Amino acid sequence: MTLHAPVNKIIPFSLVDGPGSRCSVFLQGCNIACAYCHNPETQQLCVSCGTCVEQCPAGALTLQHGHVRWNKAVCVQCDTCIHVCMHRASPKVECLTPNEVAEVVCSYQPFIRGVTVSGGECMLHPEWLREFFSLCRAAGLGTLIDSNGCVDFSTHEDLLAVTDGVMLDVKAWDSEVFRKLTSGDVNVVKHNLAFLAEREKIQELRIVVVPGWNDPEATIAGIAKALGERTANTTLKLIKFRCFGVVGELANASSPTDQRMAELSEMAHDFGFTDVQLR
């Protein structure tokens, strides 16, 4: 059976998705729902309700046999469809095979060093990823996964074998705080943290600091304890919450101050991190 994955977007060149210039592939659909999600339209698959079809000013959307079809060629990228969708979905998604995406990605060589697959949550498509990464590696490209950590990596050893590293979010440490923020189970993230560290597959760890919503001190301390002597060799990114693109309760919430971020950075150094980056 040919594998397909819902592809939301392919960005040819990115400097923020891992080392060097990389192509970034975003898959549609997520297994959690973060209160601070900046791309809520990537969380769900389209249910073909038809609302956006009538609103599209370019006639790029049609309802055929109960399914919404997107005509990329006439789309003017106004994003009206994203704004009117009440399902946190997008009609601008293509179901593509690993080979189809690899062809696009490889067309950007030699200007990229590798590819990073993100989401939504790309680990919802592990077999697709394994095949895609195998093709990218054969073409000489590096391979990174950007993940929320809520799918158990230890059951996907074959995927890890063709993956250079994982950019792992650790959104909170306390299980209730994590559940309120994301609706997910932090124990899976903690298991992945230990497993990926042991396999030396952590590219970087990321904590988004969301005032009043998560526990960055406990998260930094918990990660350091879990990593032990590996802490010094692990990149930690502390990212300011910004309300751009956010919907719901945090739509207009404030960002942490520079002073707050500097204090957390200092604390991370005290816990043994040597590469702490503020974003």
Check binding of 90 to ligand SF4 (CB under 6 A): yes
Candidates 71, 127, 132, 146; CA nearest to 103 is 132
Check binding of 114 to ligand SF4 (CB under 6 A): no
Q: Which residues contact 265 (CB under 8 A, 6 or more apart)?
A: 238, 276, 278
Provide the Cα torsion 8, 4, 188, 33; round to 10°: 30
Candidates 123, 172, 171; CA nearest to 151 is 123
Which of 13, 20, 69, 79 forms a contact with ligand SF4 (CB under 6 A)? 79
Span from 28-36, 81-89, 195-203, 268-276 in contact with ligand SF4 (CB under 6 A) = 81-89
**Cβ–Cβ under 8 Å, residues 131 and 110:** no
Check binding of 49 to ligand SF4 (CB under 6 A): yes
How do strand 275-278 and strand 235-240 relate by DSSP bridges? parallel
- For residue 20, count CB atoms less than 10 angstroms from its CB and return exposed for 0-12, middle for 13-18, buried for 19 or more: exposed
How do strand 94-96 and strand 5-14 relate by DSSP bridges? antiparallel
Check binding of 75 to ligand SF4 (CB under 6 A): yes
Which of 13, 20, 58, 107 forms a contact with ligand SF4 (CB under 6 A)? 58
Check binding of 95 to ligand SF4 (CB under 6 A): no
Subset of 213-272 contacting ligand SF4 (CB under 6 A):
none
Which of 85, 112, 181, 193 forms a contact with ligand SF4 (CB under 6 A)? 85
Helix and strand numbers (H, E) in the chain are: 9, 11
Smaller CB separation from ligand SF4, 21 or 44: 44
Smaller CB separation from ligand SF4, 71 or 109: 71
Taking phi over 0 as left and psi of -120 to 50 as alpha, with beta for the rest, 20 belongs to: left
Shortest approach of ligand SF4 to residue 87 CB, angstroms?
4
Check binding of 120 to ligand SF4 (CB under 6 A): no
Shortest approach of ligand SF4 to residue 151 CB, angstroms?
24
For ligand SF4, the binding residues (CB under 6 A) are: 46-52, 56, 58, 60-61, 68, 70, 75-81, 84-85, 87, 89-92
